Amino acid sequence: MREVCYCGRTGEIEDREVAGDGDGRGALRCPDCGHLDHLSWLPADLRDLALAEAKRRAIARGMPMSA
């Protein structure tokens, strides 16, 4: 799924960094500006899939997980 961040970065949303926001909700962080997106605009099942795919991609890239 492609999207554009507030900072102008474009790319697949699943290539963002997985992050937690302190209240138990998962979020994706823009690697350029740090903006957190809770994906609240997606239905819960699609949000869970997007977060799982982002985690899978981070692991494949050897990135440490922050959430």
Domain residues for the domain of 14 are 2-61
Residue 67 belongs to a domain: no
Residue 32 belongs to a domain: yes
Residue 39 belongs to a domain: yes
Give how many domains the chain has, as a whole number: 1
Q: In sequence order, which residues have a C-beta less than 8 Å from that of residue 17 and are 6 or more positions away?
A: 28, 29, 30, 31, 54, 58, 63, 66
Residue 66 belongs to a domain: no
Instruction: Indicate the residue type of 32.
Output: D
Residue 43 belongs to a domain: yes
Residue pLDDT, tens place only, 37-47: 988 889 999 99
Confidence of residue 23 (pLDDT cuts 50, 70, 90): confident
- The pTM (predicted TM-score) of the whole model is 0.77
Which H, E and C letters describe 28-59, residue by residue?
A: EECCCCCCEECCCCCCHHHHHHHHHHHHHHHH
Residue 18 belongs to a domain: yes
Average pLDDT over residues 43-65: 87
